[in-house]
Structure 1
């Protein structure tokens, strides 16, 4: 059993030296054959074998036999042999010790030999163990004399040396692959990297940087070649940098001196670009920086900001706001203008659907809730309604128009509503005013054509010129200081001026006292004849005077003046005190208003009564036909202008909101493919990528410095740890790249690519186990492929990595490239487990994976990148036999 090197006298020192020398030149299989030939000769045997044992310790990889055994054997062998099917030649593996069967035919655990196998009379088997794990087994057979412990001892010595050579070769291969893979990873980083030494002046202030290392991405960002950076000071490259970007020097110098990491964005004036920089210090006086060109993002952010400002101003001008309700999270978002429409300060509090309903007019609340709820229950695409609201700040009643579009998930369920709300109060008032004006115009035109009939049948408001009379009464009040009103027979005030505060703020506000006012106006003025004047006390105990207004022979209204006391009377103050208590008025304010009620002489009152009687007579008798016609024509013209203006305004608002709703809906639909990974992609962009690249760079720098450490166990341990870190970095980096490639827009940068070299470079990025054989076939006449080289590498790495992972017990990975006049085809084929039927229809869908490890973005990224370069990707699979992915690109 091979466990340690023996210094016994039986060791063949010359062979051990020869074996070491041969290992420097021979390939693996030739080395094993050389070893076996010596082992057979050393023990005077006839046949020998050497096979590796699988990592699962349950299978044997049939590796090689000695030359003599192969000459006389015609049996067929498979590459992998299950241990449970192996005969007693594999007992060394089962028992984990050497076995000797000098009477092979009668030995235990016989399972027979394959047809054509060389006959076996005696057998000696030696397992090669390392830390309790069997790595391989070798043996010899058919010696004339029985095998002894001396044979075991000799074979253990040379077996131990072979194991040392195999382990060293594996370590060297892993180190080489690791270095190549890491160098490729470093060079293919999406972001730039630079490692510098900082030069400080005597006061400790940053004076300059000296470039020590950089990668290809940094060259793309700056336009500088590596040789222009390494060993050069930044002030040699950009002499004006200390003046134009002092923050860069101060911040990076601080990182190098304190060791505290910094992340910042800066406008680098020498290149006129924006850079996002993440810097850390691997050792004092030095810094490493990850640099990303974010100029496009900055410009896009500025454009978005300007667009949002324009939208905000447009919403303020049009009194239009937008909102979005997430039905899954029950989260409602309003723009600032929606808050203003509802009489709230912008973003005053986190709004909810329930809080929104609380601001709807009580009489409309149920209708709004039902309308929106039904649009969801019935699965409609949209919801639209007009309703009233109560402004929070003023208590004012306003009218709004709401409209929204419902967004659905992949299953068709409504998950979000995106809509607008517009304050249409003024529009509604205008529409109502226009409607009333049209009706009045129609009546006035009819009154011109049929004056007697029309004037008797129409209401007073449709006949008199309210604005003109109001203006005249306002001027009259300036002279008389006596309130006046023209009221129709229903109690509606058409013209009014000079009303007393006790009426406007108290009597007309309280429902009961207001009822007294209206009843006084109607009941106490009824039964009047033409020219009659009536003086009476209203039901609120003040003097009023009324005279009727007739048009033709029809009593259509009354002219009132009053709300006064006579100078020679003493008002009943106690009555008003009781009135205040009865109706809950502010007694002090109410009595102060009472004290301000005017006092008139009876003589003045009598004169005004006669004047208003004559005014009423004049309004009744004067023919206004020609005036009405002129006014009607003028009003018609004004109405036409107003209608045209309002129609254009409403159309513009509607167009704006439809465009806004469509744009927002499109944005949400375009973002649907990111809904499952939105938060993850954001987290990757900020919380994973920067530390990941920092670790990557740190490992890179450590690898550069490790050669200075003397050889020994410590150095080997560090190398093994770094190798493990690199493997995990590669896995994490793949997840990061898949997420970012899936989330961001793809803009391929096409170049003429040598496909054979691209496949070779991609395979360097894939860890291939020793039990997976890789074969690449491509004709010498293979055309150059016009694609993005970075995207092509990502595609090939993803597919090759998937193929390897589909063969946990080993197998064949075959990559074939062909071309014709129309297209270039690349196939990546494995002999693995195949893809289950239930997974096949959604294989390229994000978050779908057949592996226990992974995020399910790899194939989705492959499809996006392939199609972005005008290619296609398909697959053929059979469960238990393997899978082939086929890429096709146009020539």
Structure 2
């Protein structure tokens, strides 16, 4: 008998490699889509282990658009090589970055780029040992606003009101000193009613305003800008804003940018990543199962050739031995030898069942359809299978029950495995097996019930998986073969069980196989 093999298009290693590449591409895509400019560097140390410079590893698209320096002048270049392109007096920037790395602290710098003619805010930190990242923002607009504040109220108002995002100012006592038109429209406020009043008076004392108060006071104290994501008072909480808080001469200025859609995209990306991880996990498991089934196929082929042939010889010899024993006079020696022969025969049939299950599961099913009397086949099973004396068999088959077009050998294998499964569930305490059949409009139902102990909930979802068994004497192919043969006939199999109350396996087969692609 030939060896059945399961084709496998991709190995587990290939699948995992593709998943890792997808992850890298995913995070690279996220990195490049960030609205803030980011530069990622490796820290360079001198012989004494002190940081002296930075080597550029990567920059995102926002960074390239912001500084207008070709990628060739950035990638794999030292910071001391490209910083002069932004500001000739770059040594102060570099020195502060090195100092931040040495002290293991974050860094916040605001500098004017003479070459770019822009104000830039640099927020640096070390995400991992030996590496330094910096987020760069164009703060030219804010600097212009601050300049306008210093140059005069009239010019300042005009500039601030041109901003389409909410912008307002708060003094050191947390009283509102200015609201632009966008703030009035979005937060449904009138500037005249809010100016000069404490933020709690205007917006109320809530968890949101308590958080804002803490951030405002921290910025005033440290003189370092802060950015956080939150909703705004008097605005739908589903709308999220990126709130930037900057220190001013006598308080803080607040600029809020609607990032609701951006956060939704980020959430969708995270959900997609989780879905991708789960998909790869599922596919990896399938590939592992495919490898295992390939081994089963090879084993089945070997068994068919190397075990089945001598097994048939043993069965033949046992038949002849029993025939010879029958001719001998009855005595104790004959009884002992006959018991041994019967036991050997029983174990031989068990080996034959293992071989049959293996081959039935591993080989592609070949179906031969013919009209059969289901009632006759079911009654035959009682004599075909050895039923223990402590187990009763009953039938519930209404008359007339229509003939069905199916494969007789498949039906017998399905019933054999289900009946033996029921016997094994009751072999110690005994009980009753009930074989039932009844027609439906376009199908017929076959049910095999036992009065055993039932199936525990924790293993119910694994009952039809190959190589899974709860029995000390079993290979875990019986129910897997039932499922495979039933589905090959265009049907389906399920079960109902109650712990301590028995189990019923239900096989539903079509009356018209051609409707399921079977000819």
| TM-score for the superposition, normalised by structure 2 | 0.43
